[in-house]
Structure 1
């Protein structure tokens, strides 16, 4: 990190990263960054000016011709080295993620390990970029090849300070683009550290730039005429706004929104495995992930499994094996959902409200919470809570459970717990979700399979990772070539 310039916070006043170096912002607007673990002040983050965004875009545009014309096999050498650096600095990066996001140490390590996997996929892109060539007529050849877009932007959320940036950084850059990234104003430290690792790996100056800011910076990115494409990950409300604003400005856009993921638990489900998976899914990363299970649909008599889920939840202790939620506003919002459900007649089986971790009284923790007898129309059953909370709705049939899942406006993930292959296939075919699991609480595909939901969990075409991302970060160039005059002229040439 850059040397701190303030004695009031651990990391001082943060800087933008433009053209290969950190540059102090002249902005008069700034936000404070606090650790959710104990409430300590980490940094002051200035909100970049439009002139600073202009400078970042100009640096990216200047770097684009040389970088885009560098053969992809040479470009990915940067990411072989970057992967090595991620491995070498795994402990340091995990500590930073935990500090600014509130994750447990194990979750932060897993996040960096996922960054490594994402980068590993990017190093394989030359094997997927051969293009197509065909002799379409005697002496006439047609070719299709993927070429970079230009300057692209990535707007990333607070819940995965390192992983979500690496959903876009390795692929977009290895494919020949130059990038402006805007980290979440709640967790700006990890991306700054990644910038230094990319530079150490040999990434040319200007190819990767960081602009800090808030919603005004997001709007400026969507409006900037020098940016060709925008990716976004965040809430559905903001994803819609970003998608509309970016596409209105004739930019390519892929905006990933929120979720309400359903776990359908059938009576024949393996009890211990199901309970462990459900509890881990609802509480991992303090429930602050768009793949978290927050709505369980109990099909028929599954009380034994519900009792086991509660037992598992009681073993999850804030400050030990459960991290903090991002800030006090999030804690209050999550707890208000629990209270409202209780007032509406739901039964709180495990209550995580008003949790304080000794020695970390300034931290923002919510304990694991299990709510039973939830009606499908309650807010806790329909809205994204983004906390370690799961609601249980009871139904008699699998079709009733699927009707509840299908009625959700979201479509990120769904899972079914059963030992019956026929039931599993029935759910896979009928769930309205882009990612479906069988006996898996968090059905995130591994590389090279892509990440992306349906419905109001995603706006735009394609997915953000894996092979599908190639279509988003490039455009097709088609060429038709004829060299031999003897072939004559026909309708094809």
Structure 2
């Protein structure tokens, strides 16, 4: 995804440090909630794509953990600096896809930067993260940073309604020369969540609206996957 005024019409997955193109039977059209304008599309992925993303996270986890906490904090600080540098671009993506006004979008970018810089230490392992569209960028940063500080690697599934800022942050990790596979992105809706639940992730974390979170939790419970919910 180019850091340019207009994003691409199709946003792929992000796996093992690069855009991952996949052929799916259906796509979701991302629209501007304020205008109804069709902005871009995302593939509606499922179990096969989830397994591919998780495989990359598993492969990257030992090296990321061995780097040590000081080195991981340096990576997060560099990512925070990059996000701050491109703050206007990220804010525009949030305005387009979430219907935020400029002040709210700018504030959310600032919250994401602060979350990356002020991360506590969470749990390690391979983590699946599911987001809604309420605070896609800040919510992601707030749950990813503690996990990454602990040495975890992750697969994030953003809301198909607001995928662009999350994708751009994943791409920014490559620009900041993070190890490939530490952060991966799976596009899609419920089939993608089911794929994550059935995959080899150690646990699933949802950040967002409690109603949707209960649905995600039920999917995780059905297959015995450890689940945690965080309010957006």
TM-score between both structures, scaled by the size of structure 2: 0.92
Residue of structure 1 in register with 2:142 after alignment: 167
Equivalent residue in structure 2 for 1:198, among 154, 173, 181: 173
Contact between 2:47 and 2:198, CA under 8 Å: does it hold in 1? no
In the superposition, relative to structure 1, how do residues 36 and 156 fare at CA in structure 2: closer, same or farther (>3 Å)?
same
Equivalent residue in structure 2 for 1:157, among 121, 127, 132: 132
**Cα displacement (A) at 1:89:** 1.0
In the superposition, relative to structure 1, how do residues 147 and 221 fare at CA in structure 2: closer, same or farther (>3 Å)?
closer
Residue of structure 2 in register with 1:245 after alignment: 219
**Cα displacement (A) at 1:114:** 0.5
Residue of structure 1 in register with 2:47 after alignment: 50
Contact between 1:239 and 1:255, CA under 8 Å: does it hold in 2? yes
Residue of structure 1 in register with 2:71 after alignment: 74
Residue of structure 2 in register with 1:227 after alignment: 201
**Cα displacement (A) at 1:175:** 1.2
1:254 aligns with 2:228: yes
Contact between 1:82 and 1:198, CA under 8 Å: does it hold in 2? yes
In the superposition, relative to structure 1, how do residues 163 and 210 fare at CA in structure 2: closer, same or farther (>3 Å)?
same
Provide the secondary structure at the position in 1 that maps to 2:33: coil
Residue of structure 1 in register with 2:109 after alignment: 112
Provide the secondary structure at the position in 2 that maps to 1:162: helix
Deviations, residues 289-325 of structure 1 (Å, cap 9, x unaligned): x6xxxxxxxxxxxxxxxxxxxxxxxxxxxxxxxxxxx
In the superposition, relative to structure 1, how do residues 47 and 2 fare at CA in structure 2: closer, same or farther (>3 Å)?
farther
Q: What is the alpha-carbon distance in structure 1 between the residues aligned to residue 2 and residue 84 of structure 2?
A: 21
Residue of structure 1 in register with 2:20 after alignment: 23
In the superposition, relative to structure 1, how do residues 190 and 83 fare at CA in structure 2: closer, same or farther (>3 Å)?
same
Deviations, residues 427-482 of structure 1 (Å, cap 9, x unaligned): xxxxxxxxxxxxxxxxxxxxxxxxxxxxxxxxxxxxxxxxxxxxxxxxxxxxxxxx
Deviations, residues 239-263 of structure 1 (Å, cap 9, x unaligned): 2232233244333211246xxxxxx
Equivalent residue in structure 2 for 1:176, among 151, 157, 165: 151
Provide the secondary structure at the position in 2 that maps to 1:62: helix
Provide the secondary structure at the position in 2 that maps to 1:26: coil
Residue of structure 2 in register with 1:470 after alignment: none
Provide the secondary structure at the position in 2 that maps to 1:78: helix
- Taking the TM superposition and a 5 Å limit, the aligned residue runs for 1:422-437 are none
Contact between 1:153 and 1:221, CA under 8 Å: does it hold in 2? yes
Provide the secondary structure at the position in 2 that maps to 1:25: coil
Residue of structure 1 in register with 2:182 after alignment: 207
**Cα displacement (A) at 1:80:** 1.2
Q: What is the alpha-carbon distance in structure 2 between the residues aligned to residue 121 and residue 84 of structure 1?
A: 13
1:63 aligns with 2:60: yes
- Taking the TM superposition and a 5 Å limit, the aligned residue runs for 1:82-97 are 82-97=79-94
- Computing the radius of gyration from Cα coordinates, the structure with the larger value is 1
Provide the secondary structure at the position in 1 that maps to 2:11: coil
Residue of structure 2 in register with 1:477 after alignment: none
